[in-house]
Amino acid sequence: MNSSLRSGNRRHFIAAGASLGAGLMLPSLTAAQQVSLPKTIRIVVPFSPGASNDLFARALAQRLAPKLGLNAIVENKPGAGGRIGAELVARGETDGSVLLFSSNSFTTGAAMTPKLPYDMEKSFEPVALMARSPMILLVAANSPLKNVADVVAAARRDGPKMTFGSSGVGGLNHMATELFQYVAKINTTHVPYKGMAGAVTDLIGGNIQYLISTSASAGAQVRSGQLRALGVSSTDRSRFMPELPPIAETLPGYGIEGWWGVYAPGGTPAPIVAALNQAIREVNREPEIEQLLARETAVSSEMDPAAFRKFYLDELNQWKKLVAERNLIGK
């Protein structure tokens, strides 16, 4: 086992959860008043319409437009695990006219892809972290597994005979489960699906044994009694699911959350990035946005661009270390 990954895993995946919500002082003068922004901003979502990325991006665009006195439109550019939309933004103008809205599947996918059509460090300017949300460890309602310890014990007993699902190779829930296996020192078999719907259906039917998913993808099945939630992936209890213990209570060192963020093309001037960051943080404080995020068990963030850049690159590097340690590419 790689000691640097072990120490990095504890340091980053636990510390990041705490730093996400840390408040940061805003400039006394509105940043948007200091720069000239284009009349229209395109927010590129590198996934199909309907999921959380699209939902949050459209809500953000609707409120940014009047706040900044411009038009803000959302364009869905799905394909290649989000790389098509990301490449479009990476090659875009640096005047604030094009932005990327993506989740941390942006970093997990990059960690699983040996060759990218852009540089994850230089091709993008992290603008703002919009929101974060824990995931949940799930089993079927009739499963004999009653808690996190039961899942670990079953995995140590059954090994590769035990299966887990995901929405696809390199997605966040796949990587969150690989981290779960790494910390627990277990090896079970990955069954990738084309989206979460198939994985949830097969978990209910007993075709796979466990799943780490967002509440948005499986919360309805938990509420209906078809699935049993055993724990949350965050290091602290979620205010939306206070009855669920953190997985870290059983597996110290485990902790990761889903998150959504906004990026500009690399080389976008700092004043433009600052103006957009402040506007997004102001939008995040609006009651309607807070209510929207709460429906997805998510909370808003107050990171400035520098803090978001550090967080984003730290997480990318940690995923790369996990991929190498578990030899995931080509599996």
Q: Each residue of 147-197: pLDDT tens digit?
A: 999 999 999 999 999 999 998 899 999 999 999 999 999 999 999 998 888
Residue 146 sits in the same domain as residue 49: no
Q: Domain boundary residue among 249, 282, 310?
A: 249
Average pLDDT over residues 249-268: 96
Q: What CATH number corresponds to the domain at position 51?
A: 3.40.190.150
With cut-offs at 50, 70 and 90, classify the pLDDT of residue 331.
Answer: low
Give the model's pLDDT for residue 114.
Answer: 86
- pTM, two decimals, is 0.85
With cut-offs at 50, 70 and 90, classify the pLDDT of residue 36.
Answer: confident
In a domain, 331, yes or no: no
Residue 243 sits in the same domain as residue 232: yes
Question: 3-state SS string over the chain?
Answer: CCHHHHHHHHHHHHHHHHHHCCCCCCCCCCHHHHCCCCCEEEEEECCCCCCHHHHHHHHHHHHHHHHHCCEEEEEECCCHHHHHHHHHHHCCCCCCCEEEEEECHHHHHHHCCCCCCCCCCCCEEEEEEEEEEEEEEEEECCCCCCCHHHHHHHHHHHHHHCEEEECCCCCHHHHHHHHHHHHHCCCCEEEECCCHHHHHHHHHCCCCCEEEEEHHHHHHHHHCCCEEEEEECCCCCCCCCCCCCEHHHCCCCCCCEEEEEEEEECCCCHHHHHHHHHHHHHHHCCHHHHHHHHHCCCEECCCCHHHHHHHHHHHHHHHHHHHHHHCCCCC
Give the model's pLDDT for residue 48.
Answer: 87
Residue 239 sits in the same domain as residue 96: no
Give the model's pLDDT for residue 330.
Answer: 60
Q: Domain boundary residue among 249, 276, 299?
A: 249
| For the chain, percent of residues with pLDDT exceeding 90 | 79
Residue 222 sits in the same domain as residue 203: yes
Residue 15 sits in the same domain as residue 128: yes
Residue 122 sits in the same domain as residue 267: yes
Give the model's pLDDT for residue 203.
Answer: 98
Q: What CATH number corresponds to the domain at position 218?
A: 3.40.190.10
Average pLDDT over residues 311-326: 95
Give the model's pLDDT for residue 4.
Answer: 41
In a domain, 203, yes or no: yes
Residue 118 sits in the same domain as residue 166: no
Give the model's pLDDT for residue 277.
Answer: 97
Q: Domain boundary residue among 249, 277, 294?
A: 249
Residue 28 has pLDDT above 80, yes or no: no
Mean pLDDT across the chain: 89
Residue 219 sits in the same domain as residue 277: no
Residue 51 has pLDDT above 90, yes or no: no
Residue 231 belongs to domain spanning: 135-249
With cut-offs at 50, 70 and 90, classify the pLDDT of residue 7.
Answer: very low
Give the model's pLDDT for residue 81.
Answer: 85
Give the chain's domain count: 2
